């Protein structure tokens, strides 16, 4: 009799846990991703999209993917002209039609990097892709402009710095 009671109680507890898990997953906020623009220039593929999760602010997302092995991009916090002219920040900046609803964040942390033959130490992200995210709200009719900028380098060479202003439609965020 004790075995049957323990078995029944264990079964009921496990079943309850499964039901709670299923209900929790079904009520979780799903993120909708809307592609906005893409281009490839100066050795980097850039993909711009809009992320939405329920009533939370929309998030403008830019993914920077160096197309060459062992290349990195610089920190978003680097000064606009670099350090003593070296490097350029990886940025996602609003030109019009949007306003920031939070801080620009990166999905990676920087490390200090010293280029061979130079004394300057520069903050860079790890080699490979980097994603920047900026919570935004729409301030106009859904047509907006943003500027993405970056510079990709390896330990021995750099590609030209790039800044592209993109026209995007963010009406889905209104």
Task: State the DSSP string of 121-149.
Answer: EEEEPPSS-EEEEEEEEE-SSSEEEEEEE
Average confidence (pLDDT) over 37-61 = 94
| 27 pLDDT tier (thresholds 50, 70, 90) | very low
pLDDT greater at residue 119 or residue 18: 119
pLDDT in the model for residue 91:
97
pLDDT in the model for residue 8:
53
Q: Which of 11-25, 43-57, 66-80 shows the lowest mean pLDDT across its residues?
A: 11-25
pLDDT reading at 145 higher than 90:
yes
pLDDT in the model for residue 56:
81
Buried b (16+ CB within 10 A) or exposed e, 140-151: eeeebebebbbb
Average confidence (pLDDT) over 149-172 = 94
Question: DSSP string spanning 89-101?
Answer: B-EEEEEESEEES
Q: Which pTM value belongs to this model?
A: 0.81
Name the range with the highest mean pLDDT among 9-13, 16-20, 68-72, 114-118: 68-72
């Amino acid at each position: 009799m004790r075995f049957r009671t323990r078995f029944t109680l264990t079964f009921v507890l496990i079943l309850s846990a499964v039901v709670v898990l299923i209900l929790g997953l079904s009520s979780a906020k799903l993120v909708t991703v809307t592609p906005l623009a893409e281009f490839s220039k100066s050795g980097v593929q850039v993909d711009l999209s809009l992320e939405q999760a329920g009533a939370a602010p929309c998030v403008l997302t830019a993914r920077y993917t160096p197309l060459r092995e062992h290349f990195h991009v610089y920190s978003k916090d680097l000064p606009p002209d670099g350090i003593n002219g070296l490097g350029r920040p990886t940025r996602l900046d609003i030109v019009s039609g949007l306003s920031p609803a939070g801080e620009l964040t990166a999905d990676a942390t920087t490390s200090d990097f010293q280029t061979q033959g130079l004394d300057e130490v520069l903050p860079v992200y790890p080699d490979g892709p980097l994603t920047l995210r900026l919570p935004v709200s729409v301030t106009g009719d859904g047509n907006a402009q943003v500027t993405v900028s970056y510079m990709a380098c390896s330990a021995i060479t750099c590609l030209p710095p790039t800044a592209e202003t993109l026209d995007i439609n963010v009406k889905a965020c209104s």
